[in-house]
Amino acid sequence: MKLLPGQLLLERFVVEGHHRRGGMGDIYRGFDRRREAAVAIKVCLLPSDDNGWKRFRREASILATIDHPRVVRLLAHDALEDGTPYYIMEFVDVPTLDQVFRKRGRLPVTEATSAIGSLLEGLSVLHMRGIFHRDVTPKNLAIEPDTLQVKILDLGLAKSLVGHEVGLTQDGATVGTPAYMAPEQTMGFGDARCDVYAAGLLLFQLLTGARPFEDHGKRELATRIAFPAPYARLPRGEPPLPRRLVTLLANALARNPEERPADAMQFHVKLLRAQAGADTENAPPSSLPAHDRSDVRRRTPGTSASEATEPGFGAVALSGLRYVVGVRAPRDSASMAMFAEATSHLEARLREQCAREVRVFPPDIVVAIVAADAVDALLCATYEILGTGSRVACEPLPEEVLGPSPSLDDFGPEVAVVLGDLLT
């Protein structure tokens, strides 16, 4: 149901006109006669069935518990005549972080850390209430251009661990924006450390001008799942980043969530310490996080195919790099017969399009060996056939043991790791 200019809501808010369309609703600009201030009116666009309205109301219920300058403020919520839910919040008349980044590019260290520090303040408020955001992206964050203070705008995918959304998100469902997802989030799992990972990606992007592996295009997500993030570095000729900041970023972007800061507050405290103890010396190997100390030049894609020691992803693929990739069908009310039919269909598709070596582990797991440049085709086929709630696990095969025609029978440890990830 659309709102019309001049329409009065709750005898207080006057609709002025349509502003933009958001992920879950249409957003109108309005005027609060009581406060004499502009407001934003968000009207649900989701269907009333399939938990759509429940999700929208959940967002409003979460916002209603929060009053903090780093999170958009809820003023009221209700439903239109046809039952469509809506809520009214403060109108934030500043650009998004995405718009600022596109205009300015990478930021100086002090400005980048200040912006992410303010983001972590807002996320800390959520985490202390048992809520994690799950979709921390530049488009969901408003930023004051002068002060670089961030305000969280959209909580449409936020999840509460204390009862806000029982039954709204299926276990193992994949939600969020792929470019800012933590590895475990792609498999439908996660907690506050997913937000820590996303904040780390944003800080990396603001400091260096790009996300880790962003230059790999469609393979970016698969690469992040399979490889540790590179260390944040500035262009040649510029002073190196502070050592403590590089180390903290590596921790925040660890593939294993156990190695990250536990929540936004812990990340913020560590960031403040890194700022206070800024050290511009290059980080020696012994000071870097243990999970990244191995020589990743052999196994990790670099930034350019022309670099002899750090080939680009395409060059690595041509040299024979492959992955063991496992997928598991989402668990819902479907029968085992339906699982078997879907996984059989997926097996046939993979053999036809991207993988010669495929094996089904009944009733709902498919494992394949694929080349680096075919991982995304596998993921697309998986989400098309099994659904976006599918779990995915990925393990690179050591380059030195690859033969011309690798077989799943020859790579027991890698297959075991993938199966273990899918079954736990």
Residues catalogued as catalytic: 135
CA–CA distance, 144 with 138 (Å, rounded to integer): 13
CA–CA distance, 198 with 181 (Å, rounded to integer): 6
From 376, 314, 370, 382, select the one nearest 342 (Cα to Cα): 382
CA–CA distance, 346 with 338 (Å, rounded to integer): 12
Residue pointed to by tokens 């202390």: 128
Dihedral (CA of 180, 184, 185, 191) sign? negative
Evaluate whether 80 touches 48 at the Cβ level (below 8 Å).
Answer: no
CA–CA distance, 225 with 183 (Å, rounded to integer): 5
Query: What does the CA dihedral 354, 417, 343, 226 come to, rounded to 10 degrees?
Result: -40
Evaluate whether 183 touches 252 at the Cβ level (below 8 Å).
Answer: no
Integer angstrom CA distances of residue 385 from 112, 175, 346: 41, 17, 6
- By CB atoms closer than 10 A (0-12, 13-18, 19+), residue 98 is middle
Secondary structure in 3-state letters for 282-313: CCCHHHCCHHHCCCCCCCCCCCCCCCCCCCCH
Q: Kindly provide the residue ranges of all beta strands, DSSP E only, lying in 224-372, ordered along the sequence.
A: 322-328, 357-361, 365-371
CA–CA distance, 247 with 243 (Å, rounded to integer): 6
Helix, strand, coil percentages in the chain from 3-state DSSP, rounded to 5: 40, 20, 40
